[in-house]
Structure 1
Amino acid sequence: DLKSNAGMSSRAEVGAALRLGSLCALPSWLSAMVLSHWPTSAFLSRKSALFLQCRARLELQGRWIGLLLRAKSQGASGSARLDFFSSVSVVACDMMLGVAACRLLNHTFSAEVLASCSALHHWTYGKALVSLVTWLMGAPADFKLNRELTSFAGGVCMSMFSLWEKCAAELLGPRAGLLVFRAASLLCALGGASLGLALLMDLLSIASLPLFLAYSGISRCWQLFFRSLYTLTLLFRCKKHNVLRSRVDHHNFNLEQLLMGVILLSVIVFLLPSVFMFYAFFAAAWTCVVAVYSLLGMIVFCLSHSPCFPLAVGFVEPLAWNHGLTLSLREGPCAPDGRPSVKRLVQHEVFQLSLRPLRWPGDALQPMLRAWASNSSHLEPQRQHGILAGLASGDAVSLQPLALRSKGDELLAVSWASFLEALQLLRG
């Protein structure tokens, strides 16, 4: 009876493993097929978080066949099998959170939610930013600004905000809001919570487009004024910047050049407070948008690289993942069997073979930290040096999603042979 029960349990485990492997191998093959025909758009790769997240999910699922085939040569305790279960657990947790988010959206969705979103959009561009621009066109903080420049810049910004609000009111009606809600719930149910958050990031970048245009134009003006002030400072010191050699050289200017420098310096000095006030307040408003966008991007990154499986394995079986074997030589007044020796003066040398355990939770979070470092290297130059440094120098900081890349080896060649080989491996 015990043998028959053991045989039945082993057959049940083999059947469960076969079903699980089949469910994982088929999406992996389909993901690799879709990824081989995935469009390579430079604009979408830089601006669309949903595009990058879909590609990252396809890359992650497309690696499953390769990991299963690698596990064939490494055995049951190979790292490829552990990596396979880790990537499957990431997708499974994301899918479960997506289903929960879909049910939450279906329960909480109503016409009042769409009205609240529309009211928030109207308050942002119809009241908050318009009142800010009107305040800047006056005398903010008792600064005596140039009235002609502030009237021109404020008129351009207010016209752009009002035009955007009218276009949004025409296009974003109840039907459009319902369509966006259905698309978000469908993405959460089929692709997980990370795809829904990526769609929310794209919607935020579209909604903040006029604010970015105003901030970008004013940042260009501030950068031009700042560089001009630096150039004129060098001029009065009889120096100039050598563009070819990237250095500051001494130069003898004549009287006409110095007179032109004085005129330009007077114009820039009198216009600089007006440009600075516009740039400071629009940079502060844009920093709030960048903070919300970066927070959503961090959540998407954590969902795509969550170390739930390594942490669970570390609590259940601490030696499943380790740093390998270590051989050490120990000396002591004990016998080789561990009992105290009669002759205390005799030193015994013992070779000890042991496993080096992982350091928790640092080693479990190390793959996620490596992925973060790899993704950060593909950011724009001003994002690599820091957002605050870019704001101080006048560089326009744009909304750029993380270039989520799957870790590990390259994708296996897409073919029926690899798919069938993986299924045969699971049957074996």
Structure 2
Amino acid sequence: MVHSRLFMSSSARTVTDDMNVTLQQINSSFEMEQAVHAKAKNFLRRRRARSRSVSEAVRESAVDLSIRVRSKLDITVTALWPIAQPFTVRPLMVILLLLRALVEISLWILNWKFPAWVFNGIAIKDITTTGQQIDLRLQQACFWPWQYFMARKKAWTNMSITRAQYISFYNSMWLVANDIIIGIALGSFLISNKDYMGEVLQRYVKDYTIDSISAVLDWLTSKNEYPAGLKLNPELNPFLGQLFKWLIEIWAALNLRNVLDFIISLQPIVPMVINMIGFSGVFGATMSLSLISDLLAFTTLHIYWFYMVAARIFHWQLTILYSLFNLFRGKKRNTLRHRIDSCDYDLDQLLLGTILFTLLTFLFPTIVVYYLTFALTVYPEV
């Protein structure tokens, strides 16, 4: 028992000594921390008290100078603004008003429609792709100021409209900025390669819009073989072929001696046109592409004319065949009520209708061949 008590007292004494050592270490750490903080404060005080460097002095003097200059400018502008306002704001407002009037007049001209018997009554802007692009840009120029003020207006009562105007305005500005950037790149490419692009354009225009069409017409009017296995009318086929060839010769030569003279006369003009298209890239890539589209449309205008002639003949013949078919059925079209009514025809009328129907039926395949030839040329997706 005595031995166990001695053992327990020694272990308790050891625990007590360990606790004292731990407390002393904690106190020492706290005192060391306080001493470090005190030293750091003294060091910071001495660092703040040191003299400023040259760079700090220059920076502070520059900031003070800018503040003084800004304050003096504010005072000067505030004093001179009432005097200069009539000479600056009012002329600017007059210029903006004149520009807006010019834009409105341009929009009115672009949206003016021809009579019904001229170009089917379409608007001027719809004749060319460039006209449509100019109309779009002018409408945007008129709409952007109002859209900007609507975006800047903080209508907290209707946040959905405010956000929509904000997103729409900056989205359109972003699209126009990208369009201008791409247009400048495209324009620089066209300007740098205008001679090569002019040669390529002339070569392809001659090959695909003159020589190829002439070869197709020669194939259709050949006497030794039947095109695509079709036996075309021997009288109507040469007539239509010669008609379209004559139009091609007029378009290619333009009252010159031959096609070569026409191509030579265009050589100095085509690079200039491509150069103008390149400079239009500052208004956006869409403007350059619109001009390119109009240029290609102009060079293939004769093919569109061929299509219109063939389509008109095809439409007339199809309408006549439909009317004669109604004659065999004993019916006719009532143009007042827009319906098909019954009708009693005389024997002479039936005989004449039979003769005309027979003639047009045998001529119809030849008309269809020429119509499909130019329809597939103008509208390949058909």
Give the TM-score range, shorter chain.
0.5 to 0.7
Q: State whether structure 2 residue 278 is matched by structure 1 residue 193.
A: no
Cα distance, 1:263–1:280 mapped onto 2, change above 3 Å: same
Q: Percent identity?
A: 24
Partner of 2:18: none
Instruction: Tell me if the contact between 1:125 and 1:165 (Cα under 8 Å) persists in the aligned partners.
Output: no
1:113-155 CA distance string (max 9 Å, x none): 3222111111123321011111111321222211211111111
Aligned residues: 267
Instruction: Tell me if the contact between 1:67 and 1:84 (Cα under 8 Å) persists in the aligned partners.
Output: yes
Partner of 1:120: 204
Alpha-carbon distance in 1 for matches of 2:179, 2:236: 51
Instruction: Tell me if the contact between 1:28 and 1:65 (Cα under 8 Å) persists in the aligned partners.
Output: no
Instruction: Tell me if the contact between 1:215 and 1:282 (Cα under 8 Å) persists in the aligned partners.
Output: yes
Give secondary structure in 2 for the equivalent of 1:248.
Answer: strand
Partner of 1:160: 247
Partner of 1:176: 269
Partner of 2:46: none
Alpha-carbon distance in 1 for matches of 2:264, 2:172: 40
Instruction: Tell me if the contact between 1:146 and 1:271 (Cα under 8 Å) persists in the aligned partners.
Output: yes
Q: State whether structure 2 residue 344 is matched by structure 1 residue 223.
A: no
C-alpha deviation, 1:225, in angstroms: 1.2
C-alpha deviation, 1:37, in angstroms: 2.7
Instruction: Tell me if the contact between 2:187 and 2:288 (Cα under 8 Å) persists in the aligned partners.
Output: no
Give secondary structure in 1 for the equivalent of 2:340.
Answer: strand
Partner of 1:35: 103
Where does structure 2 lack aligned partners over 5 or more consecutive residues? 1-62, 71-91, 114-122
C-alpha deviation, 1:98, in angstroms: 0.6
Partner of 1:57: 137
Instruction: Tell me if the contact between 2:221 and 2:241 (Cα under 8 Å) persists in the aligned partners.
Output: yes
Give secondary structure in 1 for the equivalent of 2:333.
Answer: strand
Taking only aligned residues, the RMSD between alpha carbons, in angstroms, comes to 2.7
C-alpha deviation, 1:192, in angstroms: 0.6
Instruction: Tell me if the contact between 2:197 and 2:271 (Cα under 8 Å) persists in the aligned partners.
Output: no
Q: State whether structure 2 residue 162 is matched by structure 1 residue 70.
A: no
Q: State whether structure 2 residue 356 is matched by structure 1 residue 271.
A: no
C-alpha deviation, 1:66, in angstroms: 0.6
Partner of 1:280: 372
Cα distance, 1:114–1:71 mapped onto 2, change above 3 Å: closer
Cα distance, 1:130–1:213 mapped onto 2, change above 3 Å: same
Residues 22-421 of structure 1 aligned to structure 2 (within 5 Å): 32-38=100-106, 39-40=109-110, 41-42=112-113, 43-75=123-155, 78=162, 79-107=164-192, 109-138=193-222, 139-167=226-254, 169=262, 173-188=266-281, 190-288=282-380
C-alpha deviation, 1:46, in angstroms: 2.1
Instruction: Tell me if the contact between 2:194 and 2:275 (Cα under 8 Å) persists in the aligned partners.
Output: no
C-alpha deviation, 1:182, in angstroms: 1.5
Partner of 2:32: none
C-alpha deviation, 1:183, in angstroms: 0.9
1:362-388 CA distance string (max 9 Å, x none): xxxxxxxxxxxxxxxxxxxxxxxxxx5
* Greater strand content: 1
Alpha-carbon distance in 2 for matches of 1:121, 1:246: 46
Cα distance, 1:88–1:110 mapped onto 2, change above 3 Å: closer
Alpha-carbon distance in 2 for matches of 1:248, 1:264: 21
1:336-366 CA distance string (max 9 Å, x none): xxxxxxxxxxxxxxxxxxxxxxxxxxxxxxx
Cα distance, 1:201–1:172 mapped onto 2, change above 3 Å: farther
C-alpha deviation, 1:31, in angstroms: 6.4
Decide which structure has the larger Cα Rg and report it. 2
C-alpha deviation, 1:75, in angstroms: 4.7
C-alpha deviation, 1:174, in angstroms: 2.5
Instruction: Tell me if the contact between 1:235 and 1:258 (Cα under 8 Å) persists in the aligned partners.
Output: yes
Instruction: Tell me if the contact between 1:29 and 1:62 (Cα under 8 Å) persists in the aligned partners.
Output: no
Alpha-carbon distance in 2 for matches of 1:284, 1:211: 11
Query: Looking at both structures, which has the greater relative contact order when contacts are Cα pairs under 8 Å and sequence separation is at least 6?
Result: 1
C-alpha deviation, 1:58, in angstroms: 1.7
Q: Which amino acid letter does the alignment assign opposite residue 56 of structure 1?
A: L
Alpha-carbon distance in 1 for matches of 2:357, 2:250: 36
1:220-269 CA distance string (max 9 Å, x none): 11111111111111111111111111111111111101000111011101
Alpha-carbon distance in 2 for matches of 1:67, 1:144: 65
- Please report the TM-score for the alignment, with normalisation by the length of structure 2: 0.64
* Greater helix content: 2
